[in-house]
Amino acid sequence: MLERASALLLCTVLVAGTPRAANDPFVGRWKLVKASDEMKVTSVGANTYAFDFGGGADAVETIVVDGTDQPGAGGTTLSVAAHGPNWKVVRKKGGQTLITANWTLSKDGSTLHDNFTLLGPNGSKSTVDYVYTRRVPGKGSGFAGTWVSTIAAVAGDVTLDIRPYRSDGLSFITRTPSQLDTTNVSLDGKDHPGASAGSASSGRRLNARAIDIIRSSNGKITQTRQMHLSPDLKTLTLTVSVAGEDDPKTYIFERQ
């Protein structure tokens, strides 16, 4: 789902930088052209499931499948309703619908089809059909299981603007049809306190075409992000590894 994929991207406000940063090969506008996606659905009780859409352990949402709006991640609500053998998933914020998704299982239970619609604040809609397969065939029943997909055609434009930040940092701005996410990164290799208590992040340049960004909580690494540029500087690959998850997520961007 696009909302899950875009939620993991780094971004921030535009700020002025030094001439050295202005010549940084990462600086520019990038468009997302392909992304890997993984979600986990775990049965935790009678008609109750834990949904992990890739945001890490703190973002797991436990929902009763009864169609009611229930507290979700990031100040949103999430509802899941069973319509015969299918599920309808709806996420809202402030009463406004952000996404709807209709999930359908194949007859053998090995494939999940996700008819996903992203609704913009101006009423615009972007719909795409995703196809997920079980990461471990035969493990899990019904919608419960770990599902993986590679998204080749992204619903709506997802862009990543990279701008200079301070003397040797970068600002990242991710835009989707429904939201704007922002963050600044200092690439000095030092830990910088995060917004929540005990959280921190550090960034460093591995070489002229590679950046490593590490997030931690109370001294333990929670997430690692690596950005690599192709030799011709036209393709950016972002790899996100989350603690406790087996497979990293990959995002491919093309320079605009």
In this predicted model, what pLDDT tens digit does every residue of 56-92 receive, in sequence order?
A: 667 899 999 999 999 998 889 999 999 999 999 999 9
Of the ranges 1-10, 195-204, 224-233, the best mean pLDDT one: 224-233
Provide the pLDDT confidence category of residue 125 given band limits of 50, 70 and 90: confident
Distance of CA 184 to the CA centre of its chain: 17
pLDDT at 4: 45
- Mean pLDDT for 192-202 is 84
pLDDT at 248: 80
> How many angstroms separate the Cα of 161 from the Cα of each of 28, 32, 102, 211, 239?
6, 11, 31, 16, 17
**Is the pLDDT at 1 greater than 70, yes or no?**
no
pLDDT at 244: 74
> Which of 193, 182, 194, 135 lies closest to 6 in space, CA to CA?
182
> Which of 75, 74, 82, 77 lies closest to 48 in space, CA to CA?
82
Task: Round the average pLDDT of the chain to a whole number and report it.
Answer: 84
> How many angstroms separate the Cα of 25 from the Cα of each of 19, 164, 210, 219?
12, 11, 10, 31
Of the ranges 2-6, 22-26, 225-229, the best mean pLDDT one: 225-229
**Is the pLDDT at 129 greater than 80, yes or no?**
yes
- Mean pLDDT for 29-36 is 87
Strand ranges (DSSP E) for 152-234?
Answer: 159-165, 169-175, 180-186, 192-193, 199-207, 210-217, 220-229
pLDDT at 156: 58
pLDDT at 22: 53
Within a 10 A sphere around the Cβ of 145, how many other Cβ atoms?
23
Of 104-113, 168-177, 213-222, least confident by mean pLDDT is 168-177
Question: What structural domains does the chain harbor?
Answer: 2-35+156-255 (2.40.128.20), 49-151 (no CATH)
pLDDT-above-70 percentage for the chain? 86
pLDDT at 61: 95
pLDDT at 55: 67
Buried b (16+ CB within 10 A) or exposed e, 88-125: bbbbbeeeeebbbbbbbbeeebeebebebbbbeeeeee
Answer with the residue of higher pLDDT: 74 or 9. Answer: 74
Is 130:101 a contact under the CB 8 Å cutoff?
no
**Is the pLDDT at 44 greater than 60, yes or no?**
yes
**Is the pLDDT at 229 greater than 90, yes or no?**
yes
DSSP state of 247: S
The reported pTM is 0.62
